[in-house]
Structures are given as C-alpha cells and as structure tokens.
Amino acid sequence: MITIKSEREIELMREAGMMVSRTHKYLKPFIKAGITTKELDKLAEEYIRSMGGVPTCKGYEGYPATLCTSVNDTVVHGIPNNYKLKNGDIITIDMVIGYKGYQGDAAWTYTVGEVDDDKKYLMEHTEKALYEGVKQVKPGNRIGDIANAVQTYAESHNLGVVRELCGHGIGQEMHEDPEVPNYGIKGVGTKLKEGMVICIEPMLTFGRRFVYQLEDGWTVKTQDGSPAAHYEHTILVTKDGCEILTPRVD
C-alpha cells in the first residue's frame, strides 16, 4: 500500500531524516584507517539513542546491527564486524532511524584516506546518478522516470547497475510500496503524488553488475570483485517538486 503523509507525519519524517543526516556527520571524522566497523556501529547506536532515535535496522528480520557497513566489493548490508578499515578502502554507511514511529533512511559512501581514481570516479558518478533520479521527483511523474534517469546516467558512465535491490516507499515502515528500481522505462509505473515519501538508492559497480549473497544471509558482494558505491536519500514529493528529508549537513 502506498501511503500519503499528513503535515504532522511529514514533520516527524523531517525529524527522523535530520537525525540520519546528523548521525552521518557525527560518524565522518571516525572513518579512518584502524577503526573497526563494529566500533563505528557502537558509536552510531549511542549517538542515535542520545537524540531519542531508534536504530530501526537492529533486529529487523534478525539483522544484528545499527548500521550496514559495506566495504569495497560489498554492495549493501555488510554486517559490522572486527574488520579494521585501511587506507584506500571505500565504505558505505547505510542507516535507518525511527523517531516517534516514523523512519528516515540514507546511505553515503566514504573514502578511507587516499583512494584510487577508479573508486573516486565510481563514488562521484553514483552520487550524481542519485541526483539524476531526484530531479525526476514531482507530482505526475512516474517511478519509471526515476528508474530510467538513474540507469541512463549510470550506464552512460560505464557503471554497472545492481538490479537485485531497489529503493522503496518509506513512512511508519522502513520499506513501503512502491518499489523504486534503478533501471526501467520512462512513463511506466506508479504515478507520484504530493505527500508520498520514497527512497532512491542507486547501487553501482565499477565492473559488471552481477552480485551474490554471503552465507550470513545479508552481505551482498560483486561477483567480479569490483568496488561498489551506494547513495540513498529519503525524499518527499511536494506540490511542485520534492524535498530531500536527509540533507547533507556537513
């Protein structure tokens, strides 16, 4: 079911989104060689709880942590562990925070020290692909317009578009309808209406688009070992366009 949010609900989703933005900002200076992904997770959980937020991923379908920490060839849902970040890594931090029953969700990829040009290229164009999708968010446009804009941008920059995972609606639940794929056909799919809130989240690879899942039931990696990047925003459809509810505050 697709939900249309009231003014009151939108206000709570703005708060939840800002908590996500603030937590990303808080974590950034800790993302350095030597720290473990588990330590980042602990910092995030404490910070989120100190703001009165709830780390929604923790316990969701048995997921054990606050953050998803996806390093290099891990595309999404990397579980925080004792891996120590090293110079040259890239890491995607993805988190969902609940506030008074409403969710905010955003993922950004970070560099650890100096990274090679391929990784820089991948990150730059994955973020730009997200904004190509965001530009399509306005009443009357369709999910296919977003999907097609992301895919066209990504493929014209020779990046692989992971198809197994999608963006989604969001509200009281972290995953609501509609699905928001990163590939598709213009003019097709659900029509956007004022008051809908969706997450757009391109997951792009520097190599081929194929992925596999580890035995842990979560971690998704590229089959060819190429690095992946992932950027996600929570976005409200407004009267004549959209509002990003998880703006970058750094």
Residue 94 near which of Co ion, ligand MF3, none (CB within 5-8 Å, type-dependent):
ligand MF3
Q: Which is nearer to ligand MF3, 116 or 244 (CB)?
A: 244
Question: Is 159 near Co ion (CB under 5 A)?
Answer: no
**Cβ 73 to ligand MF3, closest distance in Å?**
18
Binders of ligand MF3 in range 103-162 (CB under 6 A)? 105, 107
Of 57-65, 100-108, 111-119, 122-130, the window that binds Co ion (rule: CB under 5 A) is 100-108
- What letters, b where the CB count within 10 A reaches 16 and e where it falls short, cover 197-217? bbbbbbbbbbbebebeeeeee
Question: Is 97 near ligand MF3 (CB under 6 A)?
Answer: no
DSSP 8-state secondary structure symbol assigned to residue 28: G
Q: Which tokens sit at 97?
A: 């925070």
Phi, psi angle pair for 157, to nearest 5°? -105, 20
- What is the C-alpha separation between 250 and 239, in angstroms, rounded? 28
Answer for which of 12, 19, 96, 137 binds ligand MF3 (CB under 6 A) is: 96
Question: Is 105 near Co ion (CB under 5 A)?
Answer: yes
The site for Co ion, by CB under 5 A, has a size of: 2
Q: Which is nearer to Co ion, 149 or 203 (CB)?
A: 203
Q: Which tokens sit at 44?
A: 């995030």
**Cβ 140 to ligand MF3, closest distance in Å?**
25
Binders of ligand MF3 in range 58-87 (CB under 6 A)? 60, 63, 68, 77
Cis check for the bond before 178: say yes or no (omega within 30 of 0): yes
Which residues have CB under 8 Å from 85's CB, separation 6+?
Answer: 31, 32, 33, 34, 35, 36, 37, 71, 91, 112
Of 2-10, 55-63, 144-152, 178-186, the window that binds ligand MF3 (rule: CB under 6 A) is 55-63
Quick one: how many helices (H) and strands (E) in the chain? 4, 15
- What is the C-alpha separation between 147 and 181, in angstroms, rounded? 6
Question: Is 57 near ligand MF3 (CB under 6 A)?
Answer: yes
Question: Is 199 near Co ion (CB under 5 A)?
Answer: yes
Question: Is 94 near ligand MF3 (CB under 6 A)?
Answer: yes
